[in-house]
Structure 1
């Protein structure tokens, strides 16, 4: 199981935030739905920093629907005023049905024309009756199931690939994953390109960095050399270089912040 706590760099700064599992009929399409709701005082901004999962997100907000590609560096968003969003962290099985080339969206996003999805999610969120989030996730899931239809065998393989790369600490290389899935390295690379838009090695790297950030955050006394060894890095410097390249700071600086 992918750890839903990973990825958010400063949890204490988050507005009201919920993660909901998909209903059974959408379990092969969505890892989870994420729903922030915020009300920021006039004149203030709440900056949210994330080292995102190597996956695409389909995001509904009152202003429209956006398909957000996999990122290679930490990102942030500034929240102002009042608002909400309903996002689906898409499993690879969803991606091929929604976009021809997910690698073209790497570190980018595009408007996604889905007026019926926008209307259904907006109606659910604006009821404000305490069950609005569950209702929004359900109509979102229903829309995805209708759009994508039956999941093809290759898409099932892509889901299993992502599960191994992002949740199995014993997988330390693309070759490990290919062997576990009984496929060639080239086939694995094609799956990742078509269904995620990143190479398998980048997905493994993201898992290790997310876990590193989480452990630094939750165990501030942890020795960084020990952490590097636990996560399969050659040494402390290798971890620091990876951390700085993606998060823009060294682990020690993140711990201080």
Structure 2
């Protein structure tokens, strides 16, 4: 399984960026497992190193409502910046619904990022590429209207806390139709789907923190009616039951911790702000 490292963004980026991350390939072999990537309502700007076949490619990966598996035998590292739900539209000038379940090269989607792609192609390591992505994210202007941006950010916060769509719209002083339009345009997912994805992500965090917890009580704490309700979402969004997902997640975390301890350069990057 490829090893995944995630880093919190520096303070100036925290409102727009959820994390910067790096995926390192493992030694090829018959038992190499894929890495499960979960839906989260985010848009990622990703640079894949070219390995032995090319120069590397900068691309956008849009929002999705299902997990996908990253090939365990990937030939070279990849680094990325993950924009919080609703933030890529204003920072990158893209329409997330156009990226739904898609990965699109910036040459086609955002040719104005060509200069950053060239700088990334000149990076000697994932650490250097992460620094370039951090600078790129910090230099991007905000293009969306401030009122809409603030409303979307607040809507994502409330939906993530378990609020109903109707209650969220009422608190924001807009109709449900307006809220739906704003979220589809800036996040790429309709409100009810986004609310389910955010609730699922909350359950994943609880499962990570409470590996030995009773799943029925964990489901209630995550905002589900019962264990069966949570189980349906896990099977839809992760492709696994909560129990099977937890086992896979812990195995991946143990592998990443071992690699992080061995990789001093990536570990030191966290403090090099």
The normalised TM-score by structure 2 is 0.73
Equivalent residue, structure 1, for 2:73:
80
Segments of 5+ residues of structure 1 without an aligned counterpart are 1-12
Count of residues paired in the alignment: 235
**Quick one: which of 14, 19, 26 aligns to 1:40?**
26
State the SS of the aligned residue for 2:140.
Answer: helix
Equivalent residue, structure 2, for 1:57:
44
Aligned CA distance change for structure 1 residues 220 and 127 (closer, same or farther; 3 Å): closer
Segments of 5+ residues of structure 2 without an aligned counterpart are 50-55, 108-112, 249-273
Are the aligned partners of 1:20 and 1:134 in contact in 2 as well (CA < 8 Å)?
no
| 1:214-233 map, 5 Å | 214-233=205-224
| 1:211-250 map, 5 Å | 211-250=202-241
Shift of 1:243: 1.6
Shift of 1:118: 0.9
Task: Answer with 156-165 or 92-101: which moved more.
Answer: 92-101
Are the aligned partners of 2:2 and 2:26 in contact in 1 as well (CA < 8 Å)?
no
Cα distance per residue 1:49-85 (max 9 Å; x no partner):
1213112112122321211111111122014365332
**Quick one: which of 60, 64, 68 aligns to 1:67?**
60
**Quick one: which of 201, 211, 219 aligns to 1:210?**
201
Are the aligned partners of 1:48 and 1:78 in contact in 2 as well (CA < 8 Å)?
yes
**Quick one: which of 162, 165, 174 aligns to 1:183?**
174
Cα distance per residue 1:107-139 (max 9 Å; x no partner):
22211123211122343x4167xx636622432
Are the aligned partners of 2:8 and 2:18 in contact in 1 as well (CA < 8 Å)?
no
Are the aligned partners of 2:17 and 2:81 in contact in 1 as well (CA < 8 Å)?
yes
Q: Which consecutive aligned stretches of 4+ in structure 1 deviate over 3 angstroms post-superposition?
A: 26-29, 42-46, 79-82, 96-101, 148-152
State the SS of the aligned residue for 1:65.
Answer: strand
Aligned CA distance change for structure 1 residues 54 and 222 (closer, same or farther; 3 Å): same
| 1:1-257 map, 5 Å | 15=3, 17-22=5-10, 24=12, 26-36=13-23, 38-43=24-29, 45-62=32-49, 63-80=56-73, 83-91=76-84, 92-96=86-90, 98=92, 101-113=95-107, 114-123=113-122, 125-126=123-124, 132=128, 135-145=131-141, 148=142, 152-166=146-160, 169=161, 171-257=162-248
Aligned CA distance change for structure 1 residues 184 and 99 (closer, same or farther; 3 Å): same
In structure 1, C-alpha distance between the alignment counterparts of 2:242 and 2:140, rounded to whole Å: 38
Aligned CA distance change for structure 1 residues 90 and 240 (closer, same or farther; 3 Å): same
Aligned CA distance change for structure 1 residues 227 and 121 (closer, same or farther; 3 Å): same
After superposition, the CA RMSD in angstroms is 2.8
